[in-house]
Amino acid sequence: DIVMTQSPDSLAVSLGERATINCKSSQSVLYSSNNKNYLAWYQHKPGQPPKLLIYWASTRESGVPDRFSGSGSGTDFTLTINSLQAEDVALYYCQQYYNTFHTFGQGTKLEIK
């Protein structure tokens, strides 16, 4: 199985500042035939289902504010949230869908400082 490791486990950022969450896969999730990284980011708030933010490592899902962006390739990826808003407090997960077992990272808890 591909192991996904996120860092940090928790993060406190001031309103209006930038939050950065990292995700590292135990093997590359870049599919050479189409040059796509099979990596997604989700936001999960208590009492709600998770929400897709980013897929193909950097493509923003429709309706997701442009302060959310994804970057990286191969084994190292980053979710960046610019100008942090109060409603961004949540757990954030990366997930690889490169192989048949679509493993998630352990999650990063984002709070307001």
Q: Look at the block and give the residue holding tokens 């191969």.
A: 74
CB 59 within 8 A of CB 14: no
Q: For residue 24, state whether it binds other proteins (rule: CB under 8 A).
A: no
Q: For residue 79, state whether it binds other proteins (rule: CB under 8 A).
A: no
Contact with other proteins (CB under 8 A) among 44, 58, 64, 80: 44
Q: For residue 78, state whether it binds other proteins (rule: CB under 8 A).
A: no
DSSP letters, 15-59, are TTS-EEEEEEESS--EETTTTEE-EEEEEE-TTS--EEEEETTTE
Nearer to other proteins, 25 or 95 (CB): 95
Q: For residue 1, state whether it binds other proteins (rule: CB under 8 A).
A: yes
From the list 14, 3, 1, the residue with the least C-alpha distance to 82 is 14
Tell me, letter by letter, the H, E, C secondary structure of 86-110: HHHCEEEEEEECCCCCCCECCCEEE
> By CB under 8 A, which span of 10-18, 21-29, 34-42, 75-83 interacts with other proteins?
34-42
Q: For residue 22, state whether it binds other proteins (rule: CB under 8 A).
A: no
Contacts with other proteins, residue ranges (CB under 8 A): 1, 36, 38, 40, 42, 44, 49-52, 55-56, 59, 61, 91, 93, 95, 97, 100-107
